[in-house]
Chain A
Amino acid sequence: MSDQHGAPSDHRLPERDRPWMMRTYAGHSTAKASNELYRKNLEKGQTGLSVAFDLPTQTGYDPDDELARGEVGKVGVPVSHRGDMATLMDGIPLGEMNTSMTINATAAWLLALYIVAAEEQGVAQERLQGTTQNDIIKEFLARGTYAFPPAPSMRLIADMIAYTVEHVPRWNPINICSYHLQEAGATPVQEIAYAMSNAIAVLDAARERLGERADELMGQVFGRISFFVNAGVRFVEEHAKLRAMGILWEELGRERYGVQDPRLLRFRYGVQVNSLGLTEAQPENNVQRIVLEALAVTIGRDARARAIQLPAWNEALGLPRPWDQQWSLRIQQVLAYETDILEYPDIFEGSKVMEGLVAELLEGARAEIAVVAEHGGAVEAVPYMKGALVDSHRERIRRIEAGEQIVVGQNRYTETEISPLTADAEGGILVVDHAVEAAQIEAVRRWRSTREEAAVDAALAELARVARAEDENLMPPTIAAARAGATTGEWSRTLREVFGSYRAPTGVGEASATPADDADGAGGPAAHELAELRAQVAALAERLGRRPKILVGKPGLDGHSNGAEQIAVRARDVGMDVVYEGIRLTPAQIAASALQEGVHVIGLSILSGSHRELIPAVIEALREAGVQAPVVVGGIIPEQDVAPLEQAGVAAVYTPKDFDLTRIMRDIVALVDEQSAVPASA
């Protein structure tokens, strides 16, 4: 890409810019099936890879672990050992490919497997290009696929940075993610501020890790940090956000880390546009939302994305099929090759509106960055930021419920013809074959039985030793373990034993009450309904002898807890006692909690597509424990799965189109009321 402005005119580039890198976030079922998908996508004109791993791989469990049940191969590809990685990358020249991996807690491990797979192709690690997402703070804040406590997690990141800067110099060891913050409800100011605070925490940790070599290497480290951002449908403001981030990033590099080289100071980002705003109702409308969001990150040359992946129109319904993903890739290609956006210098230069928006965002973000710093930095401020995000998200939901924020097809213009897009038997989504899990369990057991056990034991023992010896880098023993044939679960277990395990703060305790609370119903129809419901709950409490009590939790490995958190907060706001259990629960844990806590109703949330296995398993565990309380389920549940869930004993199923939380609460209260009429056997 040329930066020279020796152009024949001020308003045209001498030659058209090269397009950004085009990717599709893809992977499912098995390494072999995903490899076929990647090759097909590359043939279609995709220019980089973006690997989606399944949740067991992301959180460090093998397919045969109890916690992996129902999740194997669902939201991504399972990669358990170097054999899987070799299959996944088979026939793809790793020396030329640019591969982005959405992997965080286990990033060091997956990079090690990638390095070993390259070795087997005869490609040296120095030549590898790509990105490991590796942003653990946002996992604590928004996405939930963490594995270790904060301090050792930060050490793993710092070790990876220190290792790659010397040995895999073209690799981006970390992608600071503001993407998931927006998905969790962040406002643009919060998105900028928390991402920058997060970057500061990472850079500080890396500087410390480099020790005496920090002065020499810090510029290179800074230059290798890239961002992974989000873009919503308010695309003008979203574009301003990216310009503001570029300004703050350069400032940070100069002032805090003493970086001088302008090339190293450049704000580099990849993007996946917004999924939160995609609707289940009239899902075809998502196409135009995606197009506009893509425009936000491409339209202005000074803040254009380096790499883009677009979600598919049917993300709120379930997993996208290859055809759905192709449609999204074609959107990128039309933007890049048919429109004229790549022919001009920055089109917002001198725009009063753009400058004004940027100034506004900068001011807000600087203030919020200062607040996070006062909390002791991003790691220490996780509970604060989490609470602030839960609050913002709740405000967003309230505005949609109240009709203040219009979502076409959802809360306005809801009348619709029947969509031919969802008319097929599967409802227009990809259904992962349920036999995949059993086959993967079989496969990983076979792998373990055919490798040289002594070599694996020795490699893991060395890994544990280095983990305890805090001043050594974890990457070399991790790569050695990958070579020896250790599995994802074994690598993680070894580190869990040294580092301990961890549960992130839930944010719900920090969230404040619904603003309409104190208005005594003066805040519009939603507030009226809330007050009415609250009176109902109080009457019910009187009759029950104690407050109606609800257990809210997420079975399985899916860490997207935003929906569950909003349900928990709203249940509290209507006057219920809420036991919020958070993420990653086994059916047995949910049953034990429900029994011990004496809850009247249980709310489960699943977004990973594992509901068909996990929900019946939870109900079975509950009934075995003698808990009769009704179960309601929320999440991305395809229409055709609702009836089977109800047959399994689920009292009600809620999907993204049920955006009115107060209405959901009214159902739940009615459910408890009904049950209480039946004499309980204590």
Chain B
Amino acid sequence: MSLGAELGRRLRERDLGAAPPTLNLLESTTPADRAQAAALLGEVSPARLRGEAAGHIVGVTGPPGAGKSTLLSALLHAWRSRGRTVAMLAVDPSSRRSGGALLGDRARIEFDPADRGVFIRSTAAGERLGGLAWGTRAAAQALAAAFDVVVIETVGVGQAETEVAEVADTVVVVVQPGSGDVLQFLKSGIMEIPDLLVVTKADLGQIALSARRDLSAALRSLGRRSTQVLAVSSLPPPTGIDELRESLDERRRELGRDGARALTARRLRARRAGALTDFTVEHGQRGLRALGGRRAAEHWLAAQEPTLDEPALRALLEGRMASP
């Protein structure tokens, strides 16, 4: 069995030790590794799994300094204390300078190094605006077969969260009280409306309360009563963390109702959009024109077999480009 297929099999069997080599492979850009990566993703495709991967892919985003790492640290403990396994993909915003990047987020998340139910990987953000790191999307899809929760952490509000929103089942935006940006972005429509809004630093009292009230009001005025706004404090004694965990778990249960109709729709959309994104990065506008433009390509993708994984969909697009 090839390395990629072997790793895929291990993930399918929920072998968490397969996570590090999986990431090493999915992050690689050599042609040989990419062929292996395609084999890996094929092994955890809905076709192979007979359904969508069971893990909950949660995107967590927010402006720098909003307290995401501290929050995630607390959330990680809340999940672990209930026996949930958690993978975190931390996408560092530090713009690449001279190609290199400093990834410092990991140090801020506390966990027991002997705990095999936790996996944390840091990567530098991609060069595209709002982009995830190369391989992060594929990693989220692959790890969702083995872990109960896969968190993608990114920084930024506005443009930056679009790709997270594309791949995540649930999007959480984290803000700290007193930062007006989020309100502005929501109102102006720059930011897609998240599934959950978390106001941190609830220990600040009145300021946090009024921030929460303002956000709720903004959401109501936009007709989004279903979006929950939660206030948390990660400082001891932490508050609101368990409610947040419960909300996220409830949200995953909801996505799984009626034969996982909502989850399937969301994942399917993610795979199709992802395949088209990668195709466009590789082949540019010329590639898109060969497919008859973006709309036509999207339309054509929507007609393909729903259980196909991303590399398979992309291969189909490439085949169509070669012989339309």
Footprint of B on A, CB under 8 Å? 149, 498-501, 503, 506, 508-509, 513-514, 517, 534, 537-538, 541, 543-547, 568-569, 571-582, 586, 588-589, 591-593, 595-598, 682
Output the least CB separation between B66 and chain A (Å): 14
Footprint of A on B, CB under 8 Å? 3, 7, 19-21, 23-25, 27-30, 33, 94, 97-104, 106-108, 110, 113-114, 119-124, 134, 235-236
- With A534-B98, A596-B19 already in contact, 14 other A-B pairs whose C-beta atoms are closer than 8 Å: A544-B28, A546-B27, A546-B29, A569-B102, A576-B100, A577-B103, A577-B123, A578-B101, A578-B103, A579-B103, A581-B106, A582-B104, A596-B120, A598-B27
Q: With a CB–CB cut-off of 8 A, which chain B residues contact A513?
A: 97-98
Docked-complex contact A578 and B100, CB < 8 angstroms: yes
Docked-complex contact A573 and B122, CB < 8 angstroms: no
Docked-complex contact A517 and B97, CB < 8 angstroms: yes
From B7, B29, B100, B120, A572 is in contact (CB under 8 Å) with B100
Query: When chains A and B are docked, how far (Å) is the Cα of A575 from the Cα of B25?
Result: 20
Q: Which residue of B lies closest to A548 (CB)?
A: B100
Output the least CB separation between A432 and chain B (Å): 28
Output the least CB separation between B116 and chain A (Å): 9
Q: With a CB–CB cut-off of 8 A, which chain B residues contact A682?
A: 3, 7, 21, 24-25
Output the least CB separation between A433 and chain B (Å): 30
Query: When chains A and B are docked, how far (Å) is the Cα of A547 from the Cα of B123?
Result: 10
Docked-complex contact A580 and B104, CB < 8 angstroms: yes
Q: Which residue of A lies closest to B32 (CB)?
A: A545
Q: With a CB–CB cut-off of 8 A, which chain A residues contact B29?
A: 545-546
CB<8 Å pairs between A and B, sample of 30:
A149-B235, A501-B110, A506-B107, A534-B99, A537-B100, A538-B99, A541-B99, A543-B30, A545-B28, A545-B30, A547-B99, A547-B100, A547-B124, A572-B101, A574-B98, A575-B98, A577-B100, A577-B101, A578-B101, A580-B103, A580-B107, A586-B113, A588-B113, A593-B120, A595-B20, A597-B20, A597-B106, A597-B122, A598-B24, A682-B25
Q: With a CB–CB cut-off of 8 A, which chain B residues contact A508?
A: 102, 104
Q: Which residue of B lies closest to A584 (CB)?
A: B107
Q: Which residue of A lies closest to B21 (CB)?
A: A682
Query: When chains A and B are docked, how far (Å) is the Cα of A267 from the Cα of B7?
Result: 66
Known: A499-B236, A591-B113. A579 touches B98 (CB 8 A): no
Query: When chains A and B are docked, how far (Å) is the Cα of A206 from the Cα of B33?
Result: 61
**In the complex, how many residue pairs between chain A and chain B have their CB atoms under 8 Å apart?**
112
Docked-complex contact B98 and A517, CB < 8 angstroms: yes
Query: When chains A and B are docked, how far (Å) is the Cα of A591 from the Cα of B120?
Result: 13
Q: Which residue of B lies closest to A553 (CB)?
A: B107
Docked-complex contact A596 and B20, CB < 8 angstroms: yes
Known: A586-B113, A682-B25. A593 touches B102 (CB 8 A): no
Query: When chains A and B are docked, how far (Å) is the Cα of A509 from the Cα of B94?
Result: 7
Known: A546-B27, A579-B122, A596-B20. A509 touches B102 (CB 8 A): yes
Q: With a CB–CB cut-off of 8 A, which chain B residues contact A580?
A: 102-104, 107
Output the least CB separation between A53 and chain B (Å): 25
Q: With a CB–CB cut-off of 8 A, which chain B residues contact A569?
A: 102
Docked-complex contact A598 and B30, CB < 8 angstroms: no
Docked-complex contact A592 and B28, CB < 8 angstroms: no
Q: With a CB–CB cut-off of 8 A, which chain B residues contact A498?
A: 236
From B24, B102, B123, A568 is in contact (CB under 8 Å) with B102
Output the least CB separation between B249 and chain A (Å): 24
Query: When chains A and B are docked, how far (Å) is the Cα of A439 from the Cα of B122?
Result: 41
Q: With a CB–CB cut-off of 8 A, which chain A residues contact B124?
A: 547, 577
Query: When chains A and B are docked, how far (Å) is the Cα of A571 from the Cα of B101?
Result: 9
Q: With a CB–CB cut-off of 8 A, which chain B residues contact A596?
A: 19-20, 119-121
Query: When chains A and B are docked, how far (Å) is the Cα of A593 from the Cα of B33?
Result: 23
Docked-complex contact B100 and A571, CB < 8 angstroms: yes
Docked-complex contact A592 and B113, CB < 8 angstroms: yes
Q: With a CB–CB cut-off of 8 A, which chain B residues contact A588?
A: 113-114
Q: With a CB–CB cut-off of 8 A, which chain A residues contact B7?
A: 682
Query: When chains A and B are docked, how far (Å) is the Cα of A577 from the Cα of B121?
Result: 12
Output the least CB separation between B196 and chain A (Å): 24
Query: When chains A and B are docked, how far (Å) is the Cα of A445 from the Cα of B278?
Result: 61
Output the least CB separation between B234 and chain A (Å): 9
Query: When chains A and B are docked, how far (Å) is the Cα of A581 from the Cα of B101?
Result: 14
Docked-complex contact A575 and B102, CB < 8 angstroms: no
Q: With a CB–CB cut-off of 8 A, which chain A residues contact B20?
A: 595-598
Docked-complex contact A506 and B113, CB < 8 angstroms: no
Docked-complex contact A503 and B98, CB < 8 angstroms: no
Q: With a CB–CB cut-off of 8 A, which chain B residues contact A597?
A: 20, 106, 121-122
Output the least CB separation between A430 and chain B (Å): 33
Query: When chains A and B are docked, how far (Å) is the Cα of A35 from the Cα of B165?
Result: 64
Q: Which residue of B lies closest to A545 (CB)?
A: B28
Output the least CB separation between B43 and chain A (Å): 15
Q: With a CB–CB cut-off of 8 A, which chain B residues contact A499?
A: 236
Query: When chains A and B are docked, how far (Å) is the Cα of A500 from the Cα of B122?
Result: 25
Q: Which residue of A lies closest to B134 (CB)?
A: A546
- Residue among B28, B97, B100, B104 with the most chain A CB within 10 A? B100
